[in-house]
Amino acid sequence: MHLLQEKVTLTGHRSFRSETTGTEVRAEQLVIAAGSRPVIPEVPGITLPQVHTSDTVMRLEELPERVLIVGGGYIACEFAAIFSGLGSSVVQVNRSQGLMRQLDEEIAQAYSAQAEKNWTVRYQRTLASLEPHEPDSEQGGVTAHVVTSDGRAETYDADCVLVATGRTPTRI
């Protein structure tokens, strides 16, 4: 196995050409691992320092007391379980009904029921905006403004917001 970290152009079903050296490579199997990046919703306040993705949240210097997690897939659920298990108060909001919907329906329902016993889960809610408690400071919490599927407004206060609404392939 050889690892190449450069831009290439596919030239056939089992071949590519390096755009750096022009070298043509043929192989029985090719693995293209371009990676992915988090999908970030376009909402006011999304760039606040209290807002994180799965790429940045593990770099927190201290455990947040209150965590708001936006999303219902495996990354959101994994971090909800981690932060809850470590002692943070966790609220998870998801725009659909149920968590882990990519799984078999029975498994997803069982997981959702178990999650609801361990942290607060709110379904059919969409993040509308975020605002800092202290506008001129990178410290302090945020207020998340959320809209329910029937149009009601809700707010949640958090020290950390994890946005885990999906990932998209990296484009080079």
- 75-131 residue pLDDT tens: 999 999 999 999 999 999 999 999 999 999 999 999 999 999 999 999 999 999 999
Please give the pLDDT value at position 3: 73
Shared-domain flag, residues 46 and 125: yes
Which domain CATH number covers 59?
Answer: 3.50.50.60
Please give the pLDDT value at position 70: 98
Token pair belonging to 28: 């029985």
**Higher pLDDT, residue 71 or 3:** 71
- For the chain, the average pLDDT equals 92
Shared-domain flag, residues 11 and 92: no
Please give the pLDDT value at position 2: 74
Please give the pLDDT value at position 145: 98
Please give the pLDDT value at position 172: 62
Shared-domain flag, residues 70 and 18: no
Instruction: Provide φ and ψ at 68, rounded to 5°.
Output: -105, 125
Please give the pLDDT value at position 171: 75
What b/e readout covers 93-104, taking b as 16+ CB neighbours within 10 angstroms? bbbeebbbeeee
Please give the pLDDT value at position 137: 66
Range of the domain at 14: 1-33
pLDDT above 90 (res 42): yes
Shared-domain flag, residues 55 and 138: yes
What region, left, alpha or beta, does residue 148 occupy, with left being phi > 0 and alpha being psi -120 to 50 degrees? beta
